[in-house]
A and B are shown apart, each in its own frame.
Chain A
Amino acid sequence: MRRLRALLARLAGSFGGPRRERELAEELESHIRMDVEDGMRSGLGEEAARRRAVQRLGGVEPTKEAWRDRRGLPWIGELRQDLRYAARTLRRSPGFTLVTVLTLALGIGGATAIFTIVHGVLLARLPYGDADRLVAVWEENADRPGRSNVVAPANFIRWRERQGVFSEMTALYDWRVSLTGRERPVELVAQFVTSNFFTTLGVTPALGRGFLPGEGPDGNDNFVVLGYGTWQRLFGADPSIVGKTVVLSGKPSVVVGVAPRDFGFYLKAGSLVGKPPDVWLPFSFSAKAREPRGRHLTTFARLKDGVSLGQARSQMRGIAASLTAELPRFDTGWTVKLVPIREEISGEMAPALRVLSGAVAFVLLIVCVNVANLLLARGTARRQEMAIRTALGAGRSRVVRQLLTESLLLSLLGGAAGFWLARGGVALLVAISPVDATILSRVRLSVPVALFAILVSVVTAVVCGLTPAFEGTRGALADSLKEGLRSAGGGTRARRLRQALVVAEVALAAVLLVGAGLMLRSLARVTSVNPGFDAKGILTARVTLHGKQYDEDERSLAFFREAVARARAIPGVRAAGFVSFLPFAGSGAATDFAVVGEPQPAPGQEPVTDVRVCDDGYFRLMRIPLIEGRLFADRELRVRSNVVVVSEAFARKAFPKGDAIGRSVVIQMSDQPVPTRIVGIVGDVHHESLTSETRPMAYWPHPQLVYSFMTLLVATDGDPALLAAGLERAVQQVDRDQPVSEIRPMESWIADSLARSRFSSTLLAVFAALALVLAAIGIYGVMSYVVGQRRSEIGIRLALGATGDSVVRMVVGGGARLVAAGVVIGVPIALALSRTLSSLLFETSASDPATIAAAVAALGAVAVAASWVPAWRASRVAPVEALRGS
């Protein structure tokens, strides 16, 4: 205890020197003065008294020295000395220091940033109670295996009644609501949830409560739970909000609660809106919901204690099978699909993140190899220094400690820079990442990961940094000295090792280059896909009509007709139109159809078509080509006329003989579907993404199916973003209570759909470029070293008549051989690993020969470039000078 206390005191005493020194000096001075006074009192002269005082003390400096020894810990003093020396050595070779620290920083920073994101997305604590017992429950169609389909209320109600594996089942759907009674109307995304929503998730609201059983639109009151962000943004974080009334879509609704800060619930696969919710509203099933009609619910459930996912899956499949028997017209070909919530939330991003983690691990490896290489090179150069130091009497342990300090200082500098880079990197990744923000908003720099990356680099640096200590201080001192002086022969082992490291580095870089090449090629393929329309110069804006008056169809029809007319009048607007569901902006309506005059297909075998409602302006401004027939006539846009325009894919599927025009189809969008006559065929459009297949599509004029929401579009020859204010004004001139939301250029919707693949390809390309640069540094280092070692040999060659060119060829050839070896090892590894990329690639083979050739060519070019400088230097060696030796 006392010892520990004294140790700590001495540890503290090792720092903050000057103040303590001053105090000691003062203390000793006062000591001497008192002694002098005593001496003078006993009759001595001042001079003599002072002499006696100093003598009795034992000298001022020796006293101070003895005191200093006691004050701090001796080894700390040595450490400080070592550190100072190391810093000076590193400063003296700034190039080496800079490259090493930068290399380490890139490796540590990159690895930490990527692993932080991966950790955040794949392993994060979800903001739900016991989240690993939550499963999403989807329907799955035999025609589209593996795809999560939204759920029919009729099926959900029956599942809930019959199942025994879940303690709770919850259903929800999302839609837009308006918040009015304020200065400006605001559109919010609402999730309509069954009343057990919060209890199933195991979440207690931050304020107030969740919903109670029976609360729903049938009750006398409307209730709402606000999202935390919504509460802060729109209600100024009013602490007494609970119990107040807000106007949502024209209906007064009582705020019963505010969700916790981190809380969010958003399963993209089931969202119609395509965005996380701002508020939650309760709903309950009406008696009519038991009737089998469309599918639109997202459903999830909590597993009962002791029930495994597999057990739940088999019971639910059994229930689905019996429903197929009971409701053959509705449920043939449909089964149920269970996905753990965690997988559901991180699922889409997971493959890309895994690839990126692999890539960044490779980069970290290359960094270690490179640092090893740099330190070995330096170590060889310093063997002589070490040998001299040993010869002059430095103990081996003292030399080792000196080198250790140097390596540690170097790797800690790299670690600090890397940590700093990682912080920036995480912020950057979060900013550009296409991952749903509800997950990433909680990502913090993972300190364990950073420490791990730093540890790996420190170990590398230390191990490699110590080699000269062992090589240089081992036994045959004289040999080292001699060898250092002659710098020929010998050192073969070190050279072999360094060449092996370069080969490894090239192999690793080859793997990354092939991976990145495949991703970029795939991205190029995707971006070259024609979406079927021309997004240039188009601005889009969503308008959802709220309020009782728009329950009348005529009012909705008139509203959008007039809004388009006003939009067309905005200066600079070349064309205007509207559509019910915009391509690339989430999902849309789809249903079965039948051709009039053809035999009815078996249940479950009906063809399916997407359905959009639009005006003729939509086709014109999107430049969707008319293939055959005509677009909508003016009258058909005002009065229901039972006409339809279909896409080429539709015509091909339903009318293989090419006789679509004039035929009638029944599209099941309502309870009493009526046949509509095909008047035109237009080009196919990619609706979900560039990589999705083009599906059959039917376009109805607005009167055929009256929606109270539309996306307005205007086209201009200039910058579409400049039209935003004008478009919003045009809408509000028709009805100033209707909010306009998501005013965005069409091109930005397409860019968003590419964000995910662009994100992973860009990062992978950055890593590959990094690998290439590191490999270049490695090759350059080794070739310079080899040239340095062979100076006298080269000198002899030149003296004997070899040309400079032949020397260059020899050295570059040596570099090329290393790269060739690396490629021979790396490419098969790349081929084996690139198979894991397949799920991320679009129309690109994982063993695409062109990509591999390009990667090899890039490595070859880098090898030649990196060995060129040392080669050129070698060819300029003056024979005499080289022979005289260094």
Chain B
Amino acid sequence: MGEKTDVWQGTLALMVLRTLQAMGPLHGYGIARRIEQISGGELSLNYGTLYPALLKLEQEGFVASAWGLSENNRRAKFYRLTRAGRRQVVRESGEWRKTTAIVARFLEAGEGTS
């Protein structure tokens, strides 16, 4: 159970970081919407799971938050990447690509023998 969450959380964290990298400072709702859009609606995400993930990233120092005004003049808490966060995106993206490439190779190999 714990491991599964970890994998999911790791993935979610990378998505959040990538989103912030692409969009600049954004509030939780915006991040959630954006992740949903990018995944083409295939990822059914409970928006709420985002908040513990954001808190964790903040505790680790990858993102920072501040209150600001939304596009509709609503008070909202905005998250932005810190310098450590930007480095983390690069590192994690590389790792992830490597992992998916390896997994992909296994999948291809599997198809070939069956």
Residues of chain A having any CB pair with chain B under 8 Å: 2, 5-6, 9-10, 13, 23-24, 26-28, 30-31, 33-35, 37-38, 56-60, 62-63, 66-67, 69-71
Contact = CB atoms under 8 A, between A and B. Distances in A.
Interface string B29-43: 110010000000000
Interface residues of B, number: 23
A66 B59 CA distance: 15
Contacts of B61: 2, 5
A2 B84 CA distance: 10
Contact of B59 (A5, A31, A37, A57): A5
A38 to B, nearest CB: 8
Contacts of B96: none
A58 B46 CA distance: 5
A296 B77 CA distance: 86
A28 B75 contact: no
Given A34-B27, A57-B46, A66 B51 contact: yes
User: Of residues B27, B46, B48, B49, which shows the largest number of chain A Cβ atoms within 10 Å of its Cβ?
Assistant: B48
Closest 7 CB pairs of A and B: A63-B48, A58-B46, A58-B48, A9-B59, A70-B52, A6-B59, A57-B48
Name the prevailing secondary structure of the A interface residues. Answer: helix
Contact of A5 (B27, B51, B60, B77): B60
Given A57-B46, A70-B55, A34 B60 contact: no
Contact of A34 (B49, B56, B59, B72): B72
Given A67-B52, A70-B52, A70-B55, A31 B72 contact: no
B64 interface: no
Given A5-B59, A57-B47, A69 B76 contact: no
Contact of A56 (B30, B47, B51, B76): B47
A880 to B, nearest CB: 59
Given A6-B60, A10-B59, A67-B55, A30 B27 contact: yes
Contacts of B48: 57-60, 62-63, 66
B11 to A, nearest CB: 17
Contact of A31 (B28, B46, B52, B60): B28
A30 B51 contact: no
A34 B77 contact: no
Contacts of B99: none
B79 to A, nearest CB: 10
A30 B51 CA distance: 13
A13 B77 contact: no
B70 interface: yes
Nearest to A8: B59
A30 B75 contact: yes
18 contacts: A2-B61, A6-B60, A13-B59, A27-B51, A27-B76, A27-B77, A30-B29, A31-B28, A31-B76, A34-B70, A34-B76, A35-B47, A38-B33, A58-B46, A58-B47, A60-B48, A69-B52, A71-B55
A28 B51 CA distance: 9
A6 B55 CA distance: 10
Interface string B60-83: 110000000010101111000000
User: Of residues A33, A35, A37, A67, which shows the largest number of chain B Cβ atoms within 10 Å of its Cβ?
Assistant: A67
Given A10-B59, A56-B47, A58-B47, A34 B52 contact: no
A2 B60 contact: yes
A31 B47 contact: yes
B6 to A, nearest CB: 13
Interface in B1-50: 27-30, 33, 46-49
Nearest to A30: B76
A69 B30 CA distance: 24
Nearest to A28: B51
A23 B75 CA distance: 12
A865 B57 CA distance: 67
Contacts of A9: 58-60
A70 B72 CA distance: 30
B92 to A, nearest CB: 12
Nearest to B57: A6
A597 B76 CA distance: 117
Given A5-B60, A66-B49, 13 more contacts: A6-B59, A6-B60, A9-B58, A10-B59, A26-B75, A27-B51, A30-B75, A31-B47, A56-B46, A56-B47, A63-B51, A66-B52, A67-B51
Contacts of A34: 27, 29-30, 70, 72, 74, 76
Given A56-B46, A66-B51, A71-B55, A33 B60 contact: no
Nearest to B53: A70
A28 B56 CA distance: 17
Nearest to B45: A56
User: Of residues A10, A56, A59, A71, which shows the largest number of chain B Cβ atoms within 10 Å of its Cβ?
Assistant: A56
A42 to B, nearest CB: 12
A24 B54 CA distance: 12
A654 to B, nearest CB: 94
B81 to A, nearest CB: 15
Contacts of A30: 27, 29, 70, 74-77
Contacts of B72: 34, 37
B25 to A, nearest CB: 15
B1 to A, nearest CB: 14
A24 B65 CA distance: 12
Contacts of A71: 55
Contacts of B60: 2, 5-6, 9
User: Of residues B33, B51, B77, which shows the largest number of chain A Cβ atoms within 10 Å of its Cβ?
Assistant: B51
B87 to A, nearest CB: 11
Contacts of B59: 5-6, 9-10, 13, 70
